[in-house]
Chain A
Amino acid sequence: MVGLVTAIILIPLIGALAVCTWPPASAAAAAGRLRNGRPIALMFNVISAGCALALWRNFDATATELQFVEHHPWIPAINAEYLVGVDGLSLLLVLLTSLIIPFAFFARPAPESRAFYATMLVMQSALYGTFTAQNFVLWFLFYEMSLIPGFLLIKIWGGENRDRAATKFFLYTFLGSVAMLLSFLGIYLAKGTFDFAALASFGKTGLLSGSLAWLAFAGIFVGLAVKVPLFPFHTWLPDAYQTAPTGVSMVLTGLLSKMGIYGFVRLLLPLFPNEIKIIGPWLLALVVCSIVFAPLAAWAQRDLKRMIAYLSINHLGYCMLGLFALAASPAVAATIDTQAALSGVFMQIFNHGITAATLFYFVGLLEQRRGLRDIDDFGGMMQRTPLLCGWMSVAMFSSLGLPGLNGFVGEFLIFKGSFALAAAFTAIAVVGLLVTAIVFMRAMQSLFSGPLTETCSAFPDLLRSEKLVVVPVTLLMFAIGIAPQFIFNIFNTTVVQMARLLS
């Protein structure tokens, strides 16, 4: 009997096989639309989305323990178990994954290749696995499993400079992973378990002692900081996001970056509370650098994808701000602030996933129409393509944190919580909001208004197929912005529990 969580992890893998093998290559040419495998991939996406919804439906939002737990022995010699289960955070990320992957399949320009869709599906499976695994070995397996498809997707289907970008992406993340693995081996040798819950319970008393603890901390920190990424470990990101095909950029920013944050929440914060407290101000300084410098860098970019890539660093910086503020606050923090910060971080995880993916989607639409995507290649589009500009502006406003849209809710909560916990750093971080606004306003101005560029005059406005993608996503942004409660309900209990654990 396969449990629901295992099913969710397996379905995309089966889908990847199906995309590769069916219909058989000889019949493929005749199959026309089926040639590139997208319909099949989408079909499997519908199934896994259905399973994710079933998970949500049967999820008991008030229960404090893990749900849908599946527990099987795997490699007893090293205490590695097949242990999967979901809590509020996992469920949130599973839902986000089920949303972003099919969204990415609709992105343009898309490679006409079955292998592309198969690779994406493998990536999806890895993501589901990472977000549900509760044992380090299993988690690490999925974590690494996402690396190979990521590398291939950039290397094979990327644009200009793809070799360099793919190698950089791989080396950075892989070195980070190795550091993390070594740290965990150290922890395992000391404590003899890989189970997340068990490890977290050691956190309070100090997992390791002396310099070994710092070594382990540094390894895990670097591994995760590269993944998120956190300044100054971010330099692989603009190259990778820029060159990857639109759909891959959407997945990279929407989901892969969340693996890092998820790791921080699940591993680093519970395992090393004392270490984080000691060097907390330095970590917060790095976060503030991410938040303030990244949008300044974005300001200087001409390439739209690179611009959004830098802004992603800024937005993920807010997540890190909330996490470090609550972990590093020296005094015994008020529960309500810790909860606010943590809720904000979870909210921001979800919101940034949707919003950044939507922005990349729109840049893809522009690239599809124009063949280029430098900010100077466009101008005055509002006159010819008002719908495209209008919906794209909504995504931009959501990203710059306008009230009424989803981005604001998360950012407000993060600021609200972290202000109480680390006032000075948070106050400086507010500057990031302003710079982000400037970047977007400038982009909007030079893309949408001004004189109509000749090359933009023949653009078609949003096509029906594009509307079908854009409208639901935008409605979701508004829904979360106006009545965020339905998202809060998913992770409320988890937040309360984690806040208790961390403070």
Chain B
Amino acid sequence: MTLPSNLTDCELLQLMLSGNEEAFTALYRLRHINVYQFALHMGGSRTLAEDVTQEVFMILIREGRLYDQSRGSLSAYLCGIARNLLLRRLERDKVYVPIAEDGDECAETFDQFVAEGDPLRELTHNETIELVRQAVLSLPARYREVVVLCDLQEMSYIEAANILGCAIGTIRSRLHRARSLLLDKLKAAEIRKSGAEPGTESGIEKCNTKRCFA
């Protein structure tokens, strides 16, 4: 039996809870990217992101009946679960020092150097992406999650507030602070890259985002 294509998340969830595997697959294909991307940007690791995605959908299979439509979208509900799992995992893994893995990670690194068009441009592009990624990953979790949701996943303030369980004003202020931190980090990284010491007078001047409160 083929499912109609115009089913909503809730309808798919109901079908899934009644044992329809096709509905589960459809729901997974619709919503897993959000969850995976969120986990990837928050954790910075594909393995972790896959684990979290799998765990989120396992929870949906087991406890999908607990979802309350009136409290937000299913996507927000899943991201909320992912967030809780991630924060728990990150807290647990804080004591471990990451080491570079061989195999896939190496292949990934080499891939960066395989330029198809302009090699210099490609390299700069990859560097920029890596720089931003590292800057995002170095943010404190409460700021990182807002940047991931609002800037990287382009969610509205309301959706982000639903997922994080806080007020829209809190989202706005956190985003504001997070972006300031990001700008400072990116500038500092650029200075390091160009050879200037961040501790020097010119480095400090460049690192701090200027604001005028006239």
A and B form one complex: no
- Write the residues of chain B forming the contact surface with A, with a CB cutoff of 8 angstroms: none
- Write the residues of chain A forming the contact surface with B, with a CB cutoff of 8 angstroms: none
